[in-house]
Copies of this chain bind each other. A is one copy, B any other.
Amino acid sequence: MAPFKKPEWHQNERNSDEFTTSVVSGVHAEPSMPQSKKGRFQKRNPSIPDIEQLEQDLLKGERSALARSITLIESNAEHHFRPAQVLLHKLLSHSGKSIRIGITGVPGAGKSTFIETFGTYLCDDLGLNVAVLAVDPSSKVSGGSILGDKTRMEQLSRNPRAFIRPSPSSGKLGGVHRKTRETMLLCEAAGFDVILVETVGVGQSEVIVRDMVDFFMLLALTGAGDELQGMKKGIMELADTVIVNKADGANKQMALRTKAEYDKILHFLQPATKGWGSRAFTCSAMYNEGIADIWQVIEKFTEVTQQSGVFEERRRLQTKEWIYSMIMDQLQFSFFQQPEIKVMLPKIENDVIAGDRTVTSAVEELFSLYSKQ
């Protein structure tokens, strides 16, 4: 049973308190503006950024242009919405060329260390440009529980080929969803070859990330059965691979046993991706062991799914699903945020639960309130 969703879409994000914060940190005033006017006042009421310039700089791969563009996309300010869409539209034809990888795992599985080691390997050994994004629906303005600061991935954050971006600050799921997808497109236009999307397991966040990436990996701890039981329902069935991390030292034998257990379960489950048999692997992010093998698995995956057409078909479906989910978010929002319905829904719900009225008549009454508006 899905809980009652508190829906949201971009409409309700604009004109929020976050306005000043996000602007000061990223979107600059137009370059054409006289220097003398760029005082404190100007920063608090910024004009629209120069989209043409931003586009050119971003396509050259300039990190600062990318950062400013993301801030523009993430902005909740009403007057940033249109220019952000114009910018995205201009960049669309340059997007889509990366491999998008989702990473999830229980707390303690070593996600940060893994991304640090894996990302550094991709940058330094393979010469790839790597962007790290995060989906954390619980995140507040401060950045939330993951990627709030870059100290977690100190080495990677200093790598000139890497770009790390904390989770967008809107606390509501729909908004985070849209912003992360659009940020991914910006990173691709800026020339990033690999996009890593990290998520904590809050609410539906794994499903949301699965729906925006090509390859989805689950980072696991050793311990097999006990840990598996604590795992969220259906999470294993989203995974294109399970990586048992911390396979080092005294832990190594146990990690191998855990890997075998995961392989057995994966064998019983339907594959997350058509034509791809999901398997488990071990690695030690701490000691940089097994990292190159994981990249080979991803390369093999890309090869197989691109040949079969599954890769492109998934991206096509993901785009459709994105349209559909934005429509549903917006419909939900317009219904459940209507003042009369907000007042009446709990009362009517209680009447139904108490057995005083039928569900069908309850819904009919709610819609008569909705239609009145």
Q: Do B330 and A352 touch across chains, with their CB atoms under 8 A apart?
A: no
User: In chain B, what residue has the closest Cβ to A336?
Assistant: B327
Given known contacts A330-B363, A360-B326, A363-B327, A93 and B10 CB-to-CB distance under 8 angstroms: no
Chain B residue numbers with a CB within 8 Å of A269 are 229, 233
Q: Do B362 and A323 touch across chains, with their CB atoms under 8 A apart?
A: yes
Q: Is A74 an interface residue (CB 8 A)?
A: no
Q: Do B330 and A332 touch across chains, with their CB atoms under 8 A apart?
A: no
Could you tell me the distance in whole angstroms from the C-beta of A180 to the nearest C-beta in chain B? 12
Could you tell me the distance in whole angstroms from the C-beta of A2 to the nearest C-beta in chain B? 7
Chain B residue numbers with a CB within 8 Å of A234 are 233-234, 237
Chain B residue numbers with a CB within 8 Å of A268 are 225, 228-229, 265
Could you tell me the distance in whole angstroms from the C-beta of A112 to the nearest C-beta in chain B? 26
List residues 164-210 of chain A with CB under 8 A from any CB of chain B.
178, 181-182
Chain B residue numbers with a CB within 8 Å of A1 are 211, 314, 317-318, 321
Q: Is A290 an interface residue (CB 8 A)?
A: no
Q: Is A343 an interface residue (CB 8 A)?
A: no
Q: Is A155 an interface residue (CB 8 A)?
A: no
Q: Do A326 and B265 touch across chains, with their CB atoms under 8 A apart?
A: no
Dominant secondary structure at the A interface: helix
User: In chain B, what residue has the closest Cβ to A371?
Assistant: B334
Q: How many residues of A contact B (CB 8 A)?
A: 61
Interface string of A308-336 (1 = CB under 8 A from B): 00000010111111111011101110010
Could you tell me the distance in whole angstroms from the C-beta of A119 to the nearest C-beta in chain B? 27
Q: Is A67 an interface residue (CB 8 A)?
A: no
Interface string of A335-373 (1 = CB under 8 A from B): 100000000000011001101111111110011000000
Q: Do B324 and A4 touch across chains, with their CB atoms under 8 A apart?
A: yes
Q: Is A85 an interface residue (CB 8 A)?
A: yes
Partner of A92, one of B228, B270, B330, B355: B355
Interface string of A258-300 (1 = CB under 8 A from B): 0000000101111000000000000000000000000000000
Q: Is A150 an interface residue (CB 8 A)?
A: no
Q: Is A158 an interface residue (CB 8 A)?
A: no
- In the A-B complex, the 6 residue pairs with the smallest Cβ-Cβ separation, listed nearest first, are A331-B331, A326-B363, A228-B268, A88-B358, A1-B321, A234-B234
Extra contacts, 14 of them, besides A1-B314, A326-B360, A327-B363 (Cβ < 8 A), are: A4-B324, A10-B360, A92-B355, A92-B356, A92-B358, A93-B355, A96-B355, A233-B237, A319-B359, A320-B349, A322-B359, A323-B352, A323-B359, A331-B331
Enumerate 27 A-B pairs (CB-CB under 8 Å) in ascending A order: A1-B314, A5-B324, A85-B358, A89-B358, A89-B361, A95-B355, A178-B359, A178-B360, A181-B359, A225-B267, A225-B268, A229-B268, A229-B270, A233-B269, A265-B268, A316-B353, A319-B352, A319-B353, A323-B352, A326-B359, A326-B360, A327-B335, A327-B366, A328-B328, A328-B331, A330-B363, A331-B332
